[in-house]
């Protein structure tokens, strides 16, 4: 059975980019475009992995990561942050919030897919 990946991304183009890439590699995808419904969806569907932008219109990806990681039922779900925050200190901040992986935008597709695969095993 193919794995399900939750994509949290507010930018349409980037959402369809991640969706396309992941589908090419055979993953199922579900979407959240503002972050407000992430916890709900995660509890409902229990995705195998979450790909998440950090700057979201609803709420900060950092807060979401913290909440996901403090929920006993959800904390095992790996979170990969894919973000345009590339200033000094951003990566540390994001990993400290509980994300399992960090990728800067723009992404390199094979690197992205490698990281997804790695966190699913």
| Region binding another protein by CB under 8 A among candidate stretches 11-19, 35-43, 61-69, 91-99 | 11-19
User: Do you find a cis peptide bond into 70, omega within 30 degrees of 0?
Assistant: no
86 touches another protein (CB under 8 A)? yes
Q: How far is the CB of 103 from another protein (least distance, A)?
A: 10
- Residue 49 has which token pair? 């992995």
Nearer to another protein, 72 or 110 (CB): 110
Nearer to another protein, 18 or 42 (CB): 18
* Contact pattern for another protein over residues 17 through 56, marking x by CB under 8 A: x--xx--x------------------------------x-
Q: How far is the CB of 62 from another protein (least distance, A)?
A: 15
How would DSSP label each residue in the chain?
---EEEEE-S-HHHHHHHHHHHHHTT-EEEEESSSTTHHHHHHHH--SEEEE-SS-SSS-HHHHHHHHHHSTTTTTS-EEEEES--STTHHHHHHHTT-SEEEESSPPHHHHHHHHHHHH-
Footprint of another protein (CB under 8 A): 11, 13-14, 17, 20-21, 24, 55, 84-87, 104-110
């Amino acid at each position: 059975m193919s794995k399900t990946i939750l994509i949290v991304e507010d930018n349409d183009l980037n959402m369809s980019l991640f969706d396309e890439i992941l589908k090419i590699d055979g993953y199922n995808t579900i979407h959240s475009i503002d972050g407000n419904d992430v916890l709900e969806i995660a509890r409902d569907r229990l995705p195998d992995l979450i790909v998440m932008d950090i700057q979201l219109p609803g709420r900060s990806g950092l807060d979401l990561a913290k909440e996901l990681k403090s929920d006993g039922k959800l904390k095992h779900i790996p979170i990969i942050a894919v973000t345009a925050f590339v200033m000094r200190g951003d990566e540390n901040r994001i990993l400290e919030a509980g994300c399992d992986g960090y990728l800067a935008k723009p992404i390199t597709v094979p690197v992205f897919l490698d990281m997804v695969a790695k966190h699913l095993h």
